[in-house]
Structure 1
């Protein structure tokens, strides 16, 4: 029997995750009253149950009082019933944006500001995050990326680490990414912008990549960056960090930073101890500005 409690911040994707788990063969129950949770777990532990894979969604909708949830989990623990907690999280600014886009009110904000409701919710469910088996930060995740992560954990049974890495290229003239954990400046490398035949190309194209990496400075920098990441990642995993944004910047975010971000992504991609994605934040901005 596999019993998964799906919880986390409102707006972080709990309902989407439950639908995905249902597609994966899980019997899903959403927003069960906390008072019934212990009885539900008892029923699942019965040898006669036909529900071998179950996911239970729990959140603060409907005015649920989370003060009783800790006691319910303690009772389930004392009965020897095994469960896993999947905690879905996202940055505050992302949650605010999602609520504004859907024109919904946060369950704890009432008629007040959304960010105040988010802060109250974080405080109420902090103990759940501490107890979580898996933490997924959906701030930058596409729907298909979330599905892939859930499949790894709940279908393929792969050993899951809570760290999700975003390798991001950007242009300094458009500002340093606010959510960056590590920022690397590659403006010291030769700039393809001043080569006529490369000016309108990007770091996704072989000609630009060859130009940027044909000198010792580019190759040495990449190797040193590789060594640093291979040292940092296992330590971040041990620390319990669940989101790492590595930002690599050049002037416009189109040539050098894209080349190095791609190269680092391909070096780190084969590992299975973390999730990884790549984002080229500013790669099209020069072209858009020219059109204007």
Structure 2
């Protein structure tokens, strides 16, 4: 079993354990709105949701006897809510995990020639899934505008929705405005060029007929003839045209595989003299903005759950 499979299994198990108790009761909003009592009055978890205590079970039974059962009290609605919640959290883990992986391991520079197709699929698939499942969960958890506007749960939910809309807007800009300009950004490629700055190196991406060069340990290598660098992309993750020293030091293989490649030249100083175009600066701004927004969402969840 591969490390990725084990990691995926562990992540799914954690999500399931987090989700399971949160869908056992459904009277949270009703009793809070009608009695003014806090969530801890009916739930074992002080933050609300999850298993009901004796008072919560009694209230739920009373609602059923009076014919005022909550809309999701039937097995069908509880299953819909559970499924929506599971997919909501699973998608968020995938989306946020991708963003954190890019920033902490790959570094945003690897995508400065345009986001890879795989990440675009994950990103937009996550946005669609979160929008649909979030709408379903909101329908069950927020029966009135009063709950949305005047409860702690509702206010934190609105903050999450606002962050989601901002992240969706940045994804749209990166995909349809900045992305095409990044992919079209190619300097004049001189195949005879040897020693060069990182700015000059960025033109040798292995795309549109250009050689696939990358830097490692101050030396520039030519990966154009390597099957592992097809179209300038190494194992679908690392883009040629960059100094990949930090990234490749984390690779599962030794540096001997890198040293076998043809040497082009050396990396020169003077990267500060290369002025980054506005759309590249906008790309970096939005990538770090998304990182901040992910941390903000996690903070909201912590306040929501344990605050």
Judge same fold: TM > 0.5, yes or no: no
Task: Normalising by structure 1, report the TM-score.
Answer: 0.24
Q: Larger Cα Rg: Structure 1 or Structure 2?
A: 2
Higher strand content, 1 or 2: 1
Task: Normalising by structure 2, report the TM-score.
Answer: 0.23
Higher helix content, 1 or 2: 2
